[in-house]
């Protein structure tokens, strides 16, 4: 059995797996669902538990970026088949063996994932989600360490929430009449259908958060989550400020299915002959590396053929290393609309800006001036691959029909042309401006705080720098949303 495992490992190397067959994903920092299926939960007529653990070990042994740091993944770890089988049988669940093979999951590998159902994973990778169209931040009610309120940060176009007239900046204190707290937020917000009970935010005219209050206002809206595909090109605006034409693009995901829509948006910006560009990536968790390459090429245009970014695997899979190049055309045909800019302004947040968004910033900086406004990004530079229990690991052809587990381990690092990685603590903003739940503003309006800061940096007008205002204004303490944000909201993949 071990001989077969090693032969397969060598097969991966000798065949130099065609890159288009691999879906590489840069995982985000948060998890919504956890794998709960244990061996005792499996169908009695299905399989021996070791069939899943065998798949997990083989997949990690063949692909894991930090394989050399994990003694149990060494090729010579087991002296016999019997020793290997005994090792597998020591684990009580797929979770146990998977997490035992991760390198420093607190500080380094916070991103590898195990999925119990790859069908759900495939749907998510196609951009099909079940949602009511709301994105929000959660905060502790001032003066409390358990009571919680939410602030809507984004309403997706043509979603259920959009059709109900919900808007960015609305505050909710309760769901189904129950005040939110740290014990019930996962349950209440995880429902398919629920009623939001709204409130008003009162800062009492001071900069301190301690005396702020959340006052229920009696209004409510019932929302139901449905299947939804988001066009990530959320908003394109042309702003005229002090004889300066500023393009503003809210882009929420590097989804390759909407490359043409992204190109059309840049056609609008190009036709407007803009002087400056502000790209709002504060709610963009990543996506396609190729789409990120297209976006970088649309912003510029003068670096055609130069190295944009690099993907580097572990030593065992170094034959898969790849350079992504600036381009003036789509693969398969069609010219890109490009702006030939030498500077771009990017808006970020520390909760949502990740992966391919960070790749864009990191990859453009060796070539042009990238001014980051907002907060530290997530700090996601590694890549992972979706691994199936199949002869090739990377496709579903010949997949084991006895279970639906898939793993998504880190397998490579993404860097810019100078071999610089995205820092693990994120990309620091040039101008720190945090979103404040009492004054989120309207996306695209010149007085929306982050956009206003960008306009100030471009024109020197619109009043004093919002950065200084933000630093002097205390934001309520945020609630850990790690159980509410899906890991696939922060991805980077290769097609």
Q: Is residue 201 part of a domain?
A: yes
Tell me: do 108 and 22 sit in the same domain.
Answer: yes
| C-alpha separations of 242 from 338, 450, 454, 462 in Å | 24, 18, 14, 10
Tell me: do 104 and 28 sit in the same domain.
Answer: yes
Domain of 108? Answer: 2-125
Its pTM stands at 0.84
Q: Name the residue among 282, 261, 346 with its Cα closest to residue 135.
A: 282
Q: Is residue 448 part of a domain?
A: no
Tell me: do 121 and 134 sit in the same domain.
Answer: no
What gap in Å lies between CA 387 and CA 406, rounded to an integer? 6
Q: Which regions of the chain are under pLDDT 70?
A: 1-49, 125-127, 462-473, 482-495
How does DSSP classify residue 427? P
Tell me: do 141 and 62 sit in the same domain.
Answer: no
Taking the CA atoms of 159, 165, 171 and 174 in sequence, report the sign of the dihedral they define: negative
SS3 at position 279: strand
Q: Is residue 454 part of a domain?
A: no
Q: Is residue 270 part of a domain?
A: no
> What are the strands of the beta sheet with 410-416, ordered from one edge?
24-25, 382-385, 410-416, 307-313, 322-325
Number of domains forming the structure of the chain: 2
CATH of the domain at 165: 2.30.42.10
pLDDT of residue 489: 55
Tell me: do 98 and 46 sit in the same domain.
Answer: yes
The residues, any chain, with a CB within 8 Å of residue 7's CB and separated by 6 or more, are none
Q: Is residue 301 part of a domain?
A: no
pLDDT of residue 20: 30
Contact 121, 106 (CB under 8 A): no
What gap in Å lies between CA 204 and CA 291, rounded to an integer? 45
Final residue before a domain boundary, out of 90, 125, 160: 125
Contact 491, 193 (CB under 8 A): no
Q: Which residues of 35-52 are buried (b: 16+ CB within 10 A; e: fewer)?
A: bebebeebeeeeeebbbb
pLDDT of residue 108: 86
Q: Name the residue among 274, 204, 281 with its Cα closest to residue 243.
A: 274
How does DSSP classify residue 254? B
Tell me: do 139 and 114 sit in the same domain.
Answer: no
Tell me: do 12 and 97 sit in the same domain.
Answer: yes
Contact 300, 368 (CB under 8 A): yes
Convert the pLDDT of each residue in 203-223 to its tens digit: 988 888 889 999 999 999 999
Final residue before a domain boundary, out of 105, 125, 145: 125
pLDDT of residue 475: 82
What gap in Å lies between CA 138 and CA 123, rounded to an integer? 27
pLDDT of residue 125: 66
Convert the pLDDT of each residue in 404-449 to its tens digit: 999 989 999 999 999 999 998 999 999 999 999 999 999 999 999 9
Tell me: do 166 and 119 sit in the same domain.
Answer: no
């Amino acid at each position: 059995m071990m001989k077969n495992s090693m032969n397969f490992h060598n097969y991966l190397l000798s065949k130099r797996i065609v890159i288009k067959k691999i879906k590489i994903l840069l995982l985000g920092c948060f998890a919504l669902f956890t794998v709960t299926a244990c061996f005792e939960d499996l169908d009695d007529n299905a399989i021996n538990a070791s069939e899943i653990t065998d798949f997990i070990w083989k997949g990690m042994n063949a692909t894991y970026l930090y394989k050399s740091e994990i003694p149990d993944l060494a090729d010579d770890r087991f002296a016999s088949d019997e020793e290997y089988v005994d090792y597998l049988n020591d684990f009580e669940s797929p979770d146990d063996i998977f997490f035992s093979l991760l390198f420093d999951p607190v500080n380094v590998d916070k991103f590898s994932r195990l999925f119990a159902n790859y069908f759900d994973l495939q749907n998510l990778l196609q951009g099909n989600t079940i949602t009511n169209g709301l994105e929000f931040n959660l905060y502790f009610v001032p003066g409390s360490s358990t009571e919680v309120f939410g602030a809507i940060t984004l309403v997706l176009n043509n979603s259920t929430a959009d059709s109900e007239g919900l808007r960015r900046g609305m505050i909710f204190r309760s769901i189904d009449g129950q005040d939110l707290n740290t014990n019930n937020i996962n349950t209440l917000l995880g429902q398919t259908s629920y009623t939001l009970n709204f409130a008003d935010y009162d800062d009492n005219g001071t900069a301190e958060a301690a005396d702020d209050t959340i006052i229920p206002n009696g209004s409510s809206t019932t929302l139901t989550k449905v299947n939804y595909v988001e066009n990530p090109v959320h908003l394109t605006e042309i702003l005229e400020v002090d004889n300066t034409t500023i393009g503003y693009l809210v882009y929420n995901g590097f989804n390759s299915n909407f490359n043409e829509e992204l190109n059309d948006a840049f056609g609008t910006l190009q036709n407007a002959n803009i002087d400056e560009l502000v790209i709002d990536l504060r709610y963009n968790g990543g996506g396609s590396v190729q789409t990120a390459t297209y976006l970088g090429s649309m912003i510029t245009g003068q670096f055609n053929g130069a190295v944009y970014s690099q993907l580097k695997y572990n030593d065992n899979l170094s034959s898969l290393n790849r350079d992504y190049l600036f381009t003036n055309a789509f693969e398969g045909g069609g010219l890109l609309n490009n702006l030939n800019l030498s500077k771009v302004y990017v808006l970020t947040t520390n909760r949502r800006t990740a992966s391919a968004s960070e790749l864009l910033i990191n990859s453009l900086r060796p070539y042009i001036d990238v001014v980051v406004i907002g907060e530290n990004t997530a700090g996601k530079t590694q890549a992972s691959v979706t691994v199936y229990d199949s002869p090739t690991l990377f496709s579903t052809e010949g997949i084991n029909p006895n279970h639906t587990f898939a793993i998504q381990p880190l397998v490579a690092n993404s860097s810019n042309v100078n071999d610089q990685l995205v820092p693990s603590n994120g990309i620091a903003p040039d101008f720190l401006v945090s979103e404040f739940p009492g004054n989120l503003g309207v996306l695209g309006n010149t007085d929306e705080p982050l956009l206003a800061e960008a306009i100030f940096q471009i024109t020197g007008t619109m009043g004093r720098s919002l950065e200084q205002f933000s630093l002097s204004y205390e934001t309520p303490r945020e609630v850990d949303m790690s159980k509410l944000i899906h890991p696939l909201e922060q991805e980077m993949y290769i097609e």
